[in-house]
Structures are given as structure tokens and as C-alpha cells.
Amino acid sequence: MLNVKSRDLVHATAPILKQHGVALTTHFYARMFQYNPELKQIFNEGHQQSGAQQQALAMAVAAYAEHIDNPSVLAPVLTHIANKHISLGIRPEHYPIVGHHLLASIREVLGEAASDELITAWAAAYGQLADVLIAEEAQLYAAAAFKQGGWTGWRGFVVAKKEVESSEITSFYLRPADGGSVPDYAPGQYISVRMFVPEWNLMQPRQYSLSDAPGNDYLRISVKREQIGNIIGQVSNLLHNTVNVGDVIDLAPPAGDFVLHQDRKTPVVLISGGVGITPMLSMLKHIVKTSSDRAVRFVHGCRNAEVHAFKNAVNQLATQQSNLEKVFFYGEACPDLSHDHLGYVDLVKIADSAILPDADYYICGPLAFMQAQIKSLQTMGVSAERIHAEAFGTGGVAA
């Protein structure tokens, strides 16, 4: 445990970190990759080049300093980070390396303001944080390894099927190359894919939501092709352009804390934007597959019919399941009127059918989309504990 003096010293740096945190974390990553270039393959190079990773770490460090007196406030955030870490293969031996470069960066960036006393306090604070994450990650690694079909690290999977879902999204059906079984997972979780990116001369991991219900003999991801030239789209373009049926790719085991609460019988409202439909489809198909009688509302928004993935699958389920209602929002009018509303997803407009008593609301999509839907739900009186969200984009970047 940190003593009072150390906590006070760390807490006093919170305002400085909020103002200058990105400069610190930018220096930190540059320093760490200079001395430990082998760690580059763990981190998303696209997020490094865009500055998203540096921004995310700066926010995390400042939040830790601000709540150092009561770090339990950050427990949900730490659980989220721990899941990201096990999906990237971060192990206990990485923490001393990160800590060394972080402390050196604090001293080098803050200069005379970084007294020996402050560095000692931050070393203790970092050690406390590392211990919490290492312990939580150990539990997650053990759970992943000991379940039927489970593993840790990377495992080869064969592409058994490649299916175009829309003009932007393609699904990959993946089976273990070793002939073994696949593990169970919670609807909403993701897996990491690792591929070699020639332009960067690096192995690069990326997380993709599992887009089918658990219980099959395959894992399915549905990947959006990012625009060519977009620094955050290198791996998605490799998957679309170069990976074919019969190829083998490396996967990490399922992870993630944005999951369907299967222990509840409350109504479920699934709200997605763009490729954020993928974990929602997993949740929806699991509810149907388990013959649950929970009322379900499936709300999805996208630009137009061409980019709308899984439209037919959701429509078919809606005709078969009396407890399921779907609503589609399109940004552009569709000639065949396959959408229900024109414009951005507007929950107020469909409140009579989509806002249900005691429902749990799951939201997935770009950060701005997620923020808008949360604000709308809160305005309509939905309590925070009933809102569960996962941002696809830089808002979900882990340090």
C-alpha cells in the first residue's frame, strides 16, 4: 500500500498530467521502442502513428493519479485493460520494462519538477497498479487456458470460409489448424488476429468481435475494410485482399468485458452503428439459440443498404421470433425502402417500442455514436447501470 505522502505526491501531478500528459506518453513510447523495439509487435502501429495510443495512455495515467486515494473507482477500467492485455499477450515480465521507461520519461519530460521523492512515489504507485493488473490478468489467462478447447498466446486457425456480408464487411469462419475444439465464449467478446504487415516490417495484432453465437465448431469474425491508405486499416486490408480459404492465421483466445448479461431475464435492447453490429449479432443469435423468451429490440444504423451487413439474417430472425423487433436507420434513402427510418439513429423517435421497462441497453459503434446514444438514454431516464457500451475506434485503445 502507498503511504499518505506518496499518494499526495502522485495526486498532485494529476493537473500536470491532464495538461501535458500526451507529451509525456509520446516521449515514453518513443523511448521504450528505441530501447526495446521487440515490443513494437505488441502495440497497434496505426494507433501509434495517429496519436491515439498516446492520448489513451495519457488519459489513463492522469485518471490513476487523480483517483490514487481510491483506485477502486477505476476497477471497471482496469478490467477492460486486463482483457485487452491478455488478448495481446502481455505478460508479467513486460511490466518492469514499461515501468522503467515510464519513470525515466517522467524525469526527462518534467525536468527539475521531477524530484527524486516524486519519482520514488510514482515508482510505488506504478508497482501497485502493476500488481493489480498482473493478478487480474493471471486469472483471465488461467480461465482461457483451462476451459475446453482453450489456450493462451497464439494458436493457428484455418480459414474455412470467407463470405462477403456487404460492400465493406467480410466474414471469416475460422477452425483450429490443430484439429482441436474451439472454446466457449460470452456473446460480445472478441479475439485478436496477428498478421505480418510488410509496410511496417512488424507482426501486428488487431481485435475483432466474434459475430456469431457461441457453441459452433468455428469462430467467426466479420471485418470492415478500412480505406486504403488509412494508417489504422493495414490489417483489415490484408485480411480482405490476401487471406483466402485454406490459409492459416494466428488467433489469441476470446476476451473482453462487453458481454451479454446471461444471468438476467430483463428485456434486451441492442443498439449498433456500422460494424458495431458484429457483437450485437452474437448476442442476438445467442438469445435465439438458447430459446430465451427475453424481449429483444435490435436497432441498427448505417449509411445505406450497400454497407448494411447481416440485414437478411436479422430480418429472418425477426419474422421467426415473436419476442424480437428490429429497426434500421439509413443515412441515405434506399430505393427498396429496406430501412425503417432515414437519418442517424434516434432513440427518441422510436421510444415507444425501443425503450422498455427494466431493459438492459447494449451499445456498440464509433465513439461519437456511442456517446450520442448514451446521452439519449440518460435523457429518457435510463439508469447508468442499465447501459453497457463498447466503442469501436480510438476511444477503446488500451495502453
Residue-wise pLDDT for 246-297, tens only, equals 999 999 999 999 999 999 999 999 999 999 999 999 999 999 999 878 999 9
361 classed as catalytic: no
Banded model confidence at residue 181, pLDDT cuts 50, 70, 90? very high
Q: Which residues line the annotated binding site for NADP(+)?
A: 274-279
Q: Which residues line the annotated binding site for heme b?
A: 85
pLDDT for res 399: 30
Task: Look over the chain and give the mean of its residue pLDDT values, rounded to a whole number.
Answer: 93
Which class in CATH covers the domain with range 4-146?
A: mainly alpha
pTM greater than 0.75: yes
**Active-site entry in 45, 66, 136, 137:** 137
Banded model confidence at residue 396, pLDDT cuts 50, 70, 90? very low
**Active-site entry in 45, 64, 66, 95:** 95
Chain region(s) in the chain for CATH 2.40.30.10? 155-255
Q: What is the pLDDT of residues 308-362, one digit of tens each?
A: 999 999 999 999 999 999 999 999 987 766 778 999 999 999 999 999 989 999 9
Q: What is the mean pLDDT of residues 84-93?
A: 96
pLDDT for res 298: 98
pLDDT for res 292: 79
Question: Using an 8 Å Cβ cutoff, are 300 and 329 in contact?
Answer: yes
Chain region(s) in the chain for CATH 1.10.490.10? 4-146
137 classed as catalytic: yes
Chain region(s) in the chain for CATH 3.40.50.80? 268-391
Q: Which residues line the annotated binding site?
A: 85, 190, 206-209, 274-279
Determine whether domain 155-255 maps to CATH 2.40.30.10. yes
Among the four given CATH numbers 3.40.190.10, 3.30.413.10, 1.20.1050.140, 3.40.50.80, the one describing domain 268-391: 3.40.50.80
